[in-house]
């Protein structure tokens, strides 16, 4: 007989961050995770802990992102303490390159809009080519300029996933591997969850199953109309330290490999790569840093983002089935700190923790208005 307080459906970056946050406060947690060949957005991650440009048209998201980035060092330290794993958080500030004057203007307008909505509590710089070159001497002539904020950074997403898993186990979280949840039935005192041949019971359940949330959410009176959105990434060989600052499309990992991205494609459940998109990514990389022309590529991959219609997360507690929650986002690295420190206590019902302020903005019900169409801007 299962004795969990909370079942987390999904063992990716979102699920394990939630499980960790709950478990370290004493909640007994079980995580139900799929098998080795699942889509696993968590393994296809660029690793940015990224603030700038986010929340355009949705100020709560800008605030939410800034909060997570500010709390990320605490998460990194807690994980290191609990597991000995250094997830290589670096927050030196980041750059978003623009390749034309039009792009620069559009970027500035976007950043200005976010800043104004935050009453100016959002410090950023627009750098023209010369100013940018003074900071990043390796940029190519085709780079018109960039936006820069001090808030941006990056971490090693795979080490983060591993650290979260290890930290969960450290705090007694039970993992059920190869357990794809198919049915959730509300019962007296909680929920029954069928996964494979096993059934699990707990008073509380949070759906963190990525694309799987779509089918599961309605079973607990929630709405999570997520769709896959593909991003392709190129991975280059290890190189001596070349770039300390993350940029939106090019970063160097702590291990020295160079990563180049990305794309936004609506192609259904296809996580393959295509030569034309890879070529475009390669061209942008070479235009950004001409020395990269000789970089040897080792691997290319595609991964499916879990995308809501407007691109913003869903955090919602079910009123129909109290004790059930849904969590979905496509920035599992950036938001990991919030998930562990703000969302997890709320979900676990830890004494005194109500819903995080402003969480209603992220309700999935916002998509129930059939008259409204949505567009996601990455």
Return d(Cα 145, Cα 209) in angstroms, integer. Answer: 39
Nearest distance, CB of residue 104 and another protein, angstroms: 21
* Alpha-carbon span 305 to 363, nearest angstrom: 19
CB nearer to another protein: give 166 or 267. Answer: 166
Residue 200: Cβ within 10 Å count = 22
Question: Which of 49, 317 has the CB closer to another protein?
Answer: 49
Report the DSSP pairing between strands 198-202 and 190-195.
antiparallel
- Is there a contact between 231 and 300 (Cβ–Cβ < 8 Å)? no
Are 123 and 108 spatial neighbours (Cβ–Cβ below 8 Å)?
A: no
Closer to another protein by Cβ: residue 161 or 216: 161
Question: By the criterion CB under 8 A, which residues form the site for another protein?
Answer: 11, 33, 35-37, 43, 69-70, 72-73, 89-93, 135-138, 153, 158, 161-162, 165-166, 169, 175, 177-178, 234, 236-245, 255-256, 260, 272-273, 275-276, 278-279, 282-283, 285-286, 289-301
d(CA 246, CA 378): 17
Minimum gap (Å) between residue 366 Cβ and another protein? 32
Looking at beta carbons only, is 198 or 291 nearer to another protein?
291
Q: How far is the CB of 287 from another protein (least distance, A)?
A: 9
Beta strands of 40-117 (E only): which ranges?
Answer: 48-49, 94-98
Shortest distance, position 68 Cβ to another protein, whole Å? 12
3-state SS, residue 366: helix
- Residue among 60, 53, 12 nearest 305 (CA): 12
In terms of Cβ atoms closer than 10 Å to its own Cβ (0-12, 13-18, 19+), residue 288 is buried
- Rounded to a whole number of angstroms, the minimum distance from the CB of residue 88 to another protein is 10
HSE-CB of 140 using CA atoms within 13 angstroms: 16
Which CB, 151 or 327, lies closer to another protein? 151
Per this entry, what is the length of the chain? 378
Q: Which is nearer to another protein, 1 or 296 (CB)?
A: 296
HEC string of 195-222 equals: ECCEEEEECEEEECCHHHHHHHHHHHCC
In the DSSP assignment, the letter for residue 341 is: I
**Shortest Å, Cβ 326 to another protein:** 24
Cβ-based nearer residue to another protein, 295 or 348 = 295
Tell me the closest approach of the beta carbon of residue 165 to another protein, in angstroms. Answer: 6
Element (H, E) at 286: helix 275-288
Distance of closest approach, residue 162 Cβ to another protein, in angstroms: 5
Pick 240 or 351: Cβ nearer another protein: 240
* Residue 19 parent element (H or E): helix 13-23
């Amino acid at each position: 007989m299962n004795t969990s307080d909370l079942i987390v459906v999904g063992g990716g970056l979102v699920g394990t961050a939630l499980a960790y946050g709950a478990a370290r406060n004493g909640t007994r947690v079980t995580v139900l995770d799929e098998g080795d060949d699942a889509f696993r957005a968590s393994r296809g991650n660029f690793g940015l802990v990224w603030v700038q440009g986010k929340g355009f048209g949705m100020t709560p998201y800008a605030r939410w992102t800034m909060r997570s980035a500010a709390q990320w060092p605490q998460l990194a330290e807690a994980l290191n303490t609990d597991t000995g794993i250094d997830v290589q958080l670096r927050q030196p500030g980041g750059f978003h390159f623009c390749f034309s004057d039009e792009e620069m203007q559009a970027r500035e307008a976007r950043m200005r809009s976010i800043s104004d909505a935050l009453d100016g509590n959002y410090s950023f710089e627009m750098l023209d080519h010369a100013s940018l070159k003074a900071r990043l001497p390796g940029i190519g002539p085709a780079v018109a300029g960039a936006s820069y904020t001090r808030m941006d950074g990056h971490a090693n997403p795979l080490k983060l996933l591993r650290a979260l898993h290890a930290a969960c186990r450290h705090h007694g979280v039970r993992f059920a591997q190869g357990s794809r949840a198919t049915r959730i039935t509300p019962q007296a005192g909680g929920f029954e969850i069928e996964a494979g041949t096993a059934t699990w019971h707990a008073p509380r359940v949070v759906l963190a199953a990525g694309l799987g949330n779509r089918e599961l959410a309605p079973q607990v009176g929630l709405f999570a109309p997520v769709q896959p959105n593909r991003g392709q990434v190129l991975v280059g060989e290890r190189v001596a330290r070349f770039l300390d600052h993350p940029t939106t499309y090019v970063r160097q990992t702590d291990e020295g490999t160079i990563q180049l991205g990305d794309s936004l494609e609506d192609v259904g459940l296809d996580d393959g790569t295509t030569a034309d998109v890879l070529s475009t990514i390669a061209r942008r990389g070479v235009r950004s840093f001409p020395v990269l022309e000789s970089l040897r590529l080792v691997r290319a991959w595609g991964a499916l983002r879990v995308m809501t219609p407007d691109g913003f997360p869903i955090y919602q507690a079910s009123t129909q089935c109290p004790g059930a929650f849904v969590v979905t986002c496509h920035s599992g690295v950036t938001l990991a700190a919030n998930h562990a420190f703000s969302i997890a206590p709320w979900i676990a019902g830890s004494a005194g923790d109500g819903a995080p302020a402003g969480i209603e903005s992220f309700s999935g019900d916002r998509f129930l208005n059939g008259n409204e169409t949505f567009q996601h801007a990455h």
